[in-house]
Amino acid sequence: MKIKITIALLFLILSGTNMSAQQVWSLDDCVNYAIEHNLFLKDFKYATESDEETFKQSKRSLLPNLSANTSYTINQGRTIDPNDNSIVNSDFFSNDYNLQAQIDVFRGFQKINVIKASKLAYKATQEETLQQKYLLSFRVMKAFYDIKFFEGLLAISLEQEALSQNNVDLVNRQIELGLKAGADKYEAESLLLRDQLNVTQSKNQLAAAKLSLIQEMNLENTSDINIQAGLVEKFRETNPQEIITNAIYEEAMGFLPIIKAQELRTLSAQKDISAARGNLYPSLSLFGGYGTGYFETIKDSLGMTIPFRNQFQDNAAGFVGVALNIPILNGWSFRSRIKQQKIALDRAENNLDLQEQELFQTIQQLVQEYNSLLVEYDQSFQNMEAQNLAFTIAQKRYDKGMISALDLFTAKNLFAISQNENLQVRLRAEINKSTLDFYRGLPVFNYN
């Protein structure tokens, strides 16, 4: 029975693995799955929840402080009667009940500024979480297109292997007919073995690319993944007039989360300075309380202890008051705190300048790469067409015995290299185009 259960569980595990491997994943599927299961992104979500609670608690700090306490005391030997402060020399017990409240009237607007600062920090964390979501999406996209590249490279390698196999078969037939010598067979088989090695290497590179995507997605219980078939047939060119660095930079500045987050961090640092300055001002607060107690030493005219209910009413007392606190000297700690907050503001402003500089340089590089890829794509396509024609001619000349197998391999290899280069340019161009579209505020990913 145990063996049957073990076999059934193993079958379910293997079935789940096969289903995951057989599923065809689109780019949007991969991105959405990665966002849902990425542990690093979850950590940012927890940080956002923490900052949200900090913001809510800063608002609750405006509420009055209310506390209640009670005590039960047993006195033995010579002691002071808490009722009238007389000295007694007998054992007795007492207990008291107190309710106190305090509310700040003015503290140099500290709490208001803390609320504003924590709200800005909370919004900044939200933007930083969104930025991590975008970064993860682009990492997944790169891994996705790496698979497409190595799938294309494998297809080219298999095509080259098939051509070499056909040449080996042709040489064998020609040897049987006495048209070629036996040495030609070894030369053709050597070239076939080299193409077979290229196929193996391409398969290994494809497996490594799939593993990278699986790891980015945090996809468990599988070592293989099938992505949506099809390559970019033609580079989607954009009107060159639209690719202007400054224009894209201005558009990105208006929505990019990392910029908005750093702007919010700067505003939050300004509010922190205002909150720190509030410590230099006098503070005013209202307080009040109500209390009562029971004392075993309180007796009536007959020497009997007055009952609890009577004492609870008779001993009741309340108080209200106003407290004014004027800071005079505190070891310069308040002013030191202000200086520290000013430094924090300087750092926040510098980080904002740094983010803006990095954004401009990134867009500048993307635009330059885009313009270069336009030229590279046309040249690589023309080169591929030319190498294809050269290989076709070389194949016909080889079939007629006009060139050696090595000359044919050279032509075939040059054609494969040109295919590889054109494929690489197409995919680089697609990633570059998608990235520029993102910075222009256009939809690139379809999020759930």
CATH code for position 422: 1.20.1600.10
Q: Decide if 292 is inside a domain.
A: yes
Q: Decide if 7 is inside a domain.
A: no
Pick from 300, 326, 352: which residue ends a domain?
Answer: 326
How many independent structural domains does the chain possess? 2
> Computed from CA positions of residues 152, 154, 156, 162, in that sequence, does the dihedral angle turn out positive or negative?
negative
Cβ(212)–Cβ(174) under 8 Å?
no
Predicted TM-score (pTM) of the model is 0.81
Instruction: Give the per-residue pLDDT at 242.
Output: 57
Q: Decide if 15 is inside a domain.
A: no
Both 275 and 299 in a single domain? no
Both 221 and 339 in a single domain? yes
Mean pLDDT by 10 residues, the chain (448 residues): 44 46 87 94 94 95 93 77 71 85 91 95 96 96 94 91 85 74 76 90 95 94 87 52 80 94 96 94 93 82 81 88 90 91 96 96 94 91 93 87 82 90 91 92 90
Both 249 and 382 in a single domain? yes
Both 300 and 251 in a single domain? no
Domain membership of residue 226 as a residue range: 25-63+108-281+333-439
Distance, CA of 258 to CA of 354 (rounded, Å): 11
3-state SS record for 102-161: EEEEECCCHHHHHHHHHHHHHHHHHHHHHHHHHHHHHHHHHHHHHHHHHHHHHHHHHHHH
Residue 249 makes CB contacts below 8 A (sequence gap 6+) with 359, 360, 363, 439
Distance of CA 205 to the CA centre of its chain: 27
Instruction: Give the per-residue pLDDT at 141.
Output: 95
Strands (E), 269-422: 283-295, 317-325
Both 219 and 293 in a single domain? no
Q: Is 85 left (phi over 0), alpha (psi -120 to 50) or beta?
A: left
Strand 92-106 to strand 283-295: parallel, antiparallel, or no bridges (unpaired)? antiparallel
Both 318 and 356 in a single domain? no
Question: What is the rounded radius of gyration, in angstroms, for the C-alpha atoms of the chain?
Answer: 40
Both 91 and 211 in a single domain? no
| Residue pointed to by tokens 């468990």 | 220
Q: Decide if 258 is inside a domain.
A: yes
Q: Decide if 445 is inside a domain.
A: no
Maximum CA extent, the chain: 143
Instruction: Give the per-residue pLDDT at 234.
Output: 53
Distance, CA of 201 to CA of 195 (rounded, Å): 10
The one-letter amino acid code at 65 reads N
Q: Decide if 164 is inside a domain.
A: yes
Both 100 and 223 in a single domain? no
Q: How far is CA 354 from CA 170, 246, 360, in A?
A: 64, 17, 10
Distance, CA of 260 to CA of 123 (rounded, Å): 9
Residue 117 makes CB contacts below 8 A (sequence gap 6+) with 268, 269, 271, 272, 275
Instruction: Give the per-residue pLDDT at 16.
Output: 46
Both 59 and 73 in a single domain? no
Both 165 and 310 in a single domain? no
Q: Decide if 396 is inside a domain.
A: yes
Both 198 and 141 in a single domain? yes
- Residues in a beta bridge with 67: 100
Both 46 and 191 in a single domain? yes
Q: Decide if 39 is inside a domain.
A: yes
